Amino acid sequence: MSSEYNPKSNVRFGSVNLSTYNAFAIYCNIFDRPERDVEVVSVPGRNGDLIFDNGRYKNLDRVYTIQVTGVANAQNLITALSKTLGYQELSDDYDTTVYYMARLKSRPRIAQFVGNAVLITVTFDRKPQRWLTSGKTTPITGTYIGTLPTGAGSGTKGVMKLTVNNTTEETLLPRIYVPGGQPATTYGFDLYQLDVDMSTPNKSLFTNQKLVYGVTKKYMNYADARAYVEIDSEERTTKHGTAGFVGEGINRFPTLPPGNSYLYFVFFPFNNQSSTTNWANLKTPKLYARWWTI
C-alpha cells in the first residue's frame, strides 16, 4: 500500500470497471481486517472463558463510496454490479499489490444525488485473504531432472521437479498449469508431492501412496497447445484443452504447507511403448502459488 492515502481510486469487480462508467471511489474501509472464527464458552464456577479456535478467519465487508458523473452512468453501473453472481475478483488502486475474492452483498445504495453527480455506496462480502498479485501473475517453473523406465516395452518417462518455498505461516492453495504441445508421443503425466528433494529421479519414491494428481489418456503431444491441463486447488476444479481428452483422476488437490514442497511431474508416452520421446524438450509446468496475507 502507498505510504500516502489517495482518496480517489478505480475499482474493478469481475468484468465491471468503474472507469467505464465515468466513476471512481472516494472512500474505502481499507484498515479493516478479518476476525478470527472462535467459539467462547463460559463454564459456571470457572474463572475465565474457554476459547475454541475453528482454524479459520471470517468473511468481512469491503465498502466503497463511489462518485459517478451522469445519471445514466450511475444506472448502468448499478445494473452491471447487480448482474454479477457469486465470488468475483475485486481489486482497486488503494493497494495495487493485492486483490480479493468477493461477492456483491446487497444492491448498491444511492447515498446522495445532486444534479449530474451521484454518490453510491457499494458493499462487498469478501473472503478474508488479501492475495498478492505477484502470486497470480508470476509463475514458479520446473526443472527437468531425467527419466524413469515405463515398466513396459522400451520406453521411458520424463520427470520435471518444481520446488516451492512457502515462507508464510499459512497453507497455500495453488493453481497449476501444464502446457500442451509437449514432445512427440507424450500422452499424459502423473503428479507426486513428496518431502524429498531429488536431483535425479528415484523410482522407488514414486511407488508410495503420495500421488497427488494422476491424469491418464490425455494426449498432450505434438504442437497442439490446446492439450493443456489446469489444476485449481482453491476452486477444486480442473480444466483441459480440447485435444484428445479421455479421462482424469484426482486423489488430492495439491496444497503448499509452510516450508519447502517438492512436486514431481512424471510424463509418460503413448501406451508406455515409445523409446523415441525427447523428454529433455518438455515444456515446464507453471505453478501460481497464490501468496496471501491477512
- The whole-angstrom separation of Cα 82 and Cα 76 is 10
Torsion of CA 210, 212, 218, 220, to 10 degrees: -100
User: What's the pLDDT tens digit per position in 13-57?
Assistant: 999 999 999 999 999 999 999 999 999 999 999 999 999 999 899
User: What's the pLDDT tens digit per position in 140-149?
Assistant: 999 999 999 8
Where do you find CATH 2.40.30.200 in the chain? 11-128
User: In the predicted model, is pLDDT for residue 208 greater than 70?
Assistant: no
User: In the predicted model, is pLDDT for residue 1 greater than 70?
Assistant: no
CATH fold of 11-128: Elongation Factor Tu (Ef-tu); domain 3 (2.40.30)
Residue 12 has which C-alpha cell? 474493478
- At residue 250 the predicted structure's pLDDT band, cuts being 50, 70 and 90, is confident
Spatial neighbors of 3 by CB under 8 A, at least 6 apart, are none
109, 121 contact by CB (below 8 A): yes
pLDDT score at 227: 78
Residue 124 has which C-alpha cell? 462487498
With pLDDT > 90 as the criterion, what percentage of the chain qualifies? 65
* Least confidently predicted of 41-50, 139-148, 149-158, 195-204: 149-158
Reported pTM: 0.81
Span 137-293 CATH architecture: Sandwich (2.60)
Spatial neighbors of 22 by CB under 8 A, at least 6 apart, are 68, 69, 70, 73
10 Å CB burial of residue 64 (0-12, 13-18, 19+) is buried
Where do you find CATH 2.60.120 in the chain? 137-293
Strand, coil or helix: what is 150? Answer: coil
10 Å CB burial of residue 123 (0-12, 13-18, 19+) is middle
Burial letters 253-275, b for 16+ CB under 10 A, else e: bbebeeeebebbbbbbbbebebe
DSSP letters for 157-207:
EEEEEEEEEE-SSS-B--EEEE-S-BSTTEEEEEEEEES---SS--GGGGG
